[in-house]
Structures are given as C-alpha cells and as structure tokens.
C-alpha cells in the first residue's frame, strides 16, 4: 500500500518562504516520478512542479517558475518543494502525487498520478 504524507504547510506573509515535504512509502525498490499540485477553494487541482524519478529533470508551472524549486532525496523517499517569494495567490491546499505507471511526459496532468497525499494548507497573507 503506497502512502504519501505531506508536511510543512502553514501561514506566511507575502514575500516569505516555506518548504513542503512529501514522504512516500509502500513500494520498496520502485522510485516514482513525483509532482506537486495545488487546489484553491472552488478551483481545480493545478500543476505546480514535477521531478523525474532520478531527479535529473524538473518541470514548473509558469506561475511559479523562478520562485519554487522541487528536489528529492531518494535515500529518504522524500520530495521537497521550496517556495520563495510567496504571493497571496499561492494560497491553496498543496498535494504531492506519485507516478509509477503514467506515460512519459504526462507530469503536468493530475490524472496521470497513481497516488496522492492528504494535502497540506499553505496560506499567504498580504
């Protein structure tokens, strides 16, 4: 049973920084591609960032490019999202997803992820 557990959310002022973590477990010997998505009230779950299983490639939504950084530590089964220069419009519930089976290049589609965490709230005050 694959499990993903996010942590690190909270309240921060605009311009501040925050780091989210996502620990995945349940399939030893298999390393998934990982992604971060976010969902604001009344809106769809949107792509934020993704990283390949090796960590060699990372992808970002235009809205966060240059401000957010995704990274991973496969020895710890953990993926991180470093968020700098936060804006009020970044306020959302952030979810990490694990992609074991999805086709190559589908990192930006929430439907391509096989497992999700429970989400962590990030609130940016103005």
Query: What pLDDT score was predicted for residue 103?
Result: 79
Our CA angle for 18, 69, 104, nearest 5°, is 135
The pLDDT tens digits for 47-64 are 999 999 999 999 999 999
Please tell me the predicted confidence (pLDDT) of residue 73: 97
- The DSSP output letter for 56 is S
pLDDT at 104: 77
pLDDT digits (tens, 9 = 90+) for 7-31: 999 999 999 999 999 999 999 889 9
In terms of C-beta density within 10 A (0-12 exposed, 13-18 middle, 19 or more buried), how is residue 38 classed?
buried
Q: Are 9 and 80 in contact (CB under 8 A)?
A: no
């Amino acid at each position: 049973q694959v499990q993903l557990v996010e942590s690190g959310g909270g309240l921060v002022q605009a311009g501040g920084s925050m780091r989210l973590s996502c620990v995945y477990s349940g399939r030893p010997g298999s390393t998934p591609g990982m992604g971060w998505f976010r969902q604001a009230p009344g809106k769809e779950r949107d792509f934020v960032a993704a990283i390949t299983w090796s960590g060699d490639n990372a992808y970002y939504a235009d809205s966060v490019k240059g401000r957010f950084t995704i990274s991973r530590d496969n020895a710890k089964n953990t993926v991180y999202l470093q968020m700098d220069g936060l804006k009020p419009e970044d306020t959302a519930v952030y979810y990490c997803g694990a992609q074991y089976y999805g086709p190559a290049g589908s990192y930006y589609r929430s439907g391509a992820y096989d497992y999700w965490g429970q989400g962590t709230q990030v609130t940016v005050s103005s």
